[in-house]
Amino acid sequence: MNNESTNQNAFGMIGLGTMGANLLQNIADHGYNCAGYDTNYNKVDSLNQLDYNNIHGYSTIQDFANSLKSPKTVMMLVPAGKIVDVVINELLEVLDKGDIIIDGGNSHFTDTERRYKDLESKGYHFIGMGVSGGEEGARKGPSMMPGGDKNAYEKISPILEKIATQVNGEPTVAYMGARSAGHFVKMVHNGIEYAIMQLISETFEIMKKGLQMDDKEIEAVYAKWNEGRLKSYLIEITRDIFSYIKPGDKHLLLNNIKDEAKALGTGKWTSQAAMDLGLPVPVIDVSVGMRDLSRYKDLRIEASKIFPDSPNNEFRGKADKYISTLESAYYFGMVSAYAQGMHLLYHANQEYKYNLNLDTIAKIWRGGCIIRSEFLEDIYAAYNKKPELKHLFLDISIHDDLISSTPNIRAVVADASRSGIAVPAFSAALSYFDNFRLETMPTNLVMAQRDYFGSHTYELNNKEGVFHTQWEKLVDAENSTKKPLS
């Protein structure tokens, strides 16, 4: 292993945790000389102990920078937040104008927007890049969502395209769009991830409590689902979770895991961004909410003692006959989760002028990332066929699948409610669909109420203008003309 500063390293990495170290090995495997830097000497030493002669670890940022070819390319894989700004400021002391800085962490898109403008004004090229696939993806091929300086992306794209997963001969990386587009796309990816994980957990609850199935039977269901149209990374790992027993134990590790969810905040960011744009993503919203509720474990234990469980959680009918109904209902919910995420991207593109291509996003999500699935081929086909498609529900093929699945999600939501089993994501997916397809919603009553108590005005269906009514005077006048009942 050669640790000399040769000024020949094509790529630099700051942050040598598992993700950073794995990504460097991926880059080195494709023939590039690369450098790593971390303030933790043990991580630097571990990197230098790897059996590579084209990976070089450095414990000072100056030596690290000196080892890079100009124009220098440096990627940060550090925790989102203030530390990113700290590292950028350190880099500006050792880099030159015209060098490329990549933030590969889960930064909030508003922070990326600010950093992009600041670094551009100072003469540096900045790329905010979402990276999905976890530790294994970093090592074997992630899905990457870079946005920002397009010219800088074109310079580094040969490296990124080689280290990305390949699907049908195409790399799962592409330029997303201007400024903070890459991190916005990654944020939405994570929101969809929240939603799908919640939907899967609800199928588990239905099989366990409603259908009274044991762990082996549930494992078999997920295994079968992963062979058909539900094939996806998240179903695949769920299958594996239902087969893992620690040595010496007699039951699944899953059964020992506490039911309190942790989160890094990216799902919440998706909901907040959607609310800021005035756009509904209810399956994502409720999935964030359920993780929050899970953390109130003590409160839930207290409530469980005073609110008795449903007298009969068991669904009517036999499990083997009901599983096809549940599969169809899950498909419906999954489609809704993706559709809401893509709809958010559609409107963010208009609001923030990102110049996103939704077909490209679907294409790079087909492999390497956490939400990769068979269904993404359908999403890619829909937007490839009609780039201006406003909503996935309007694609004819997806429309037909939703129609055929609707009776089954209605059955699952009704049966779960009757049996006292919570299925908030399924319910949100169904309610969203039922309102989406209405020409007339009952929101006219909401507008009348707002005008009554707050003079907020309203519009009329067949008349131009904005109107306000003195509701109380009309009601008082009406009441004064009524004769008392004899």
- Give domain status of residue 3, yes or no: no
CATH of the domain at 227: 1.10.1040.10
Residue 482: which pLDDT band, with cuts at 50, 70 and 90?
low
186 tagged catalytic: yes
Domain C-terminal end among 175, 194, 220: 175
CATH number for 170: 3.40.50.720
The active-site residue, picked from 113, 193, 202, 327, is 193
Helix/strand/coil percentages in the chain, nearest 5? 55, 10, 35
**Over 70: is that where the pLDDT of 6 sits?**
no
Regarding whether 247 and 155 lie in a shared domain, the answer is no
Residue 83 is assigned to a structural domain of this protein:
yes
In the chain, the number of structural domains is 3
Q: How far is CA 252 from CA 192, 198, 204, 209, 228, in A?
A: 27, 20, 14, 17, 25
Same domain? 166 vs 190: no
* Same-domain pairing of 353 and 406: yes
Residues 415 and 464 grouped into a single domain: no
Say yes or no: 213 and 77 in one domain: no
Domain ranges, residue 466: 442-480
Asked if 249 and 148 sit in the same domain, the reply is no
* Claim to verify: residue 57 and residue 84 sit in the same structural domain: yes
Whether residue 124 lies inside any domain: the answer is yes
- Encoded amino acid at 32, one letter: Y
Same domain as 122, residue 92:
yes
170 catalytic residue (yes or no): no
Q: Does residue 392 share a domain with residue 320?
A: yes
Q: Phi, psi (5° rounding) for residue 260?
A: -120, 115
Q: Check if the beta carbon of residue 34 is closer than 8 Å to that of residue 56.
A: yes
What pTM was computed for the model?
0.94
Straight-line distance from the first to the last Cα atom of the chain, in angstroms, rounded to the nearest whole number? 102
- Give CA–CA dist 350/421, Å, rounded: 40
Q: What is the pLDDT of residues 99-148, one digit of tens each?
A: 999 999 999 999 999 999 999 999 999 999 999 999 999 999 999 999 99
Structure tokens at 138: 């970093």
Residues 222 and 295 in one domain: yes
Does residue 486 belong to any structural domain of this protein?
A: no
Q: How far is CA 86 from CA 47, 82, 255, 357, in A?
A: 23, 6, 42, 33
Residue 349, C-beta contacts closer than 8 angstroms, at least 6 positions apart: 177, 355, 356, 358
Q: Are residues 472 and 378 in the same domain?
A: no
- What's the whole-number average pLDDT of the chain? 94
Please enumerate, as own/partner, the contacts of 43-52 that have beta carbons within 8 Å and a separation of 24 or more.
Answer: 43/16, 43/17, 44/16, 46/16, 46/21, 47/16, 47/21, 48/1, 48/3, 49/1, 50/1, 50/21, 50/25, 51/1, 52/1, 52/25, 52/28
Q: Verify that 309 and 399 share a domain, yes or no.
A: yes
The residue annotated as part of the active site, out of 43, 72, 113, 186, is 186
Look-up: residue for tokens 């799908």?
196
**Cis link prior to 71 (omega < 30° from 0)?**
yes
- Tens digits of per-residue pLDDT, 317-361? 678 889 999 999 999 999 999 999 999 999 999 999 999 999 999
H/E stretch holding 81: none
Residue 6: inside a domain, yes or no? no
**Higher-scoring residue by pLDDT: 458, 476:** 458
The reply to whether 5 falls in a domain is no
